[in-house]
Amino acid sequence: MFTGIVEGTGEVRDIRKTGQEATCTIRTPGFFSDCHSGDSLAVDGVCLTITSVKGNLLTLDISAETLARSTLGTHRQGAMVNLERALRLSDRLGGHLVSGHVDGTGIIERLERYQESWIIRIGVDQNLSRYLIEKGSIAVDGISLTINKCEGKSFEITIIPQTARVTTISNKRQGDRVNIEVDMISKYVEKFLSRDRPTVPRQTPSRIDRDMLLRYGFGGGNGDL
C-alpha cells in the first residue's frame, strides 16, 4: 500500500522487453538506499517488486498485465518517473490509500496556469469515469490528488507548486498519457450494489426467538420484549 505522496523522482536507465513482459532499471535518489530485493516500489503509481539492488540502481520486473494497463511500456532511457516506497503502518497517511494497482490511463486534455498553480483536465474512458466524484480522491502517475470537478468523461485537478517541484507532472504536455488509479472504495461499493452479483446463499434460520430470550432472563417483568 502507498499514500500517493511522491517521495522523489528516478531516472529510467534501461528498459528491456522480453516477449510480453519487461525489465526496468531505475536510478534512484540517495535516500532510497534502504530498499532491498523483494520490496514494493510505486513507479509512476504502479506497484512493482524490486528484483535487484546495485547501489542506487534498482531493477524491477514488469508483467504483461502492467504493460497493458499503464504507461510504463512507453518509457525510454532517460525518462523520469515518480517514486514512492511502500507505506509503513506507523506512517502518517498524508494522501489517501493507494494500492498501486493502476486501473488504466488517461489523456491530458488541457493545462492552464492559475497564479502559481496549474489546472489540468484529464480524459478517461467510461469504465473509469463512473468512479469519479467531485472532491473525491484519485492517483495520477502515483500522485494523490483531489478532483475539482467532473464533466462527462473528464475531470480536473489542481497541481500546487510543491507538487510540481517534486514530481514529474510539471513535465507533462497536452496529449500525454498518465496512469490512473481510482479510489478503491468506489469499486467496492459498486461491487456490493451490482445487480448481477451472485445470489447470497440463504443463511440458517436464527434460533433466537422470544421464548429463548425469556428462558435466559432477558425481558423484565413489565412484559416489554
User: What is the average pLDDT across 73-81?
Assistant: 95
Q: How far apart are the first and last CA of the chain?
A: 47
Looking at the structure, do residues 72 and 35 belong to the same domain, yes or no?
A: yes
25 in any annotated domain? yes
List the grid coordinates of 110. 488541457
Say how many domains are in the chain: 2
Q: Please check whether residues 43 and 117 belong to one and the same domain.
A: no
* pLDDT exceeds cutoff 70 at 18: yes
Q: Do the domain assignments include residue 208?
A: no
Lowest-pLDDT choice from 2-16, 63-77, 208-222:
208-222
Q: What is the DSSP letter of 217?
A: T
Q: Please report the pLDDT score of residue 205 as a whole number.
A: 64
How far is 199 from 214, CA to CA, in rounded Å?
Answer: 35
Q: What is the pLDDT of residues 82-103, one digit of tens each?
A: 999 999 888 888 889 999 999 9
Q: At 201, is the pLDDT very low, low, confident or very high (cuts 50, 70, 90)? A: low
pLDDT digits 0-9 by tens, 120-139: 999 999 999 999 999 999 99
pTM of the predicted model over 0.75: yes
Interatomic CA distance for residues 84 and 106, integer angstroms: 21
Residues 118 and 181 in one domain: yes
Mean pLDDT taken over the chain: 90
For residues 109 and 183, state if they share a domain: yes
Domain that holds residue 29: 8-85
The CATH number covering residue 57 comes to: 2.40.30.20
98 in a domain, yes or no? no
**Which residues, 6+ apart, have CB-to-CB distance to 76 below 8 Å?**
12, 15
Asked whether residue 214 is assigned to any structural domain, the reply reads no
- Nearest-angstrom CA–CA distance, 103 and 124: 11
In a domain, 203, yes or no: no
Residue 93 resides in a domain: no
Residues 120 and 78 grouped into a single domain = no
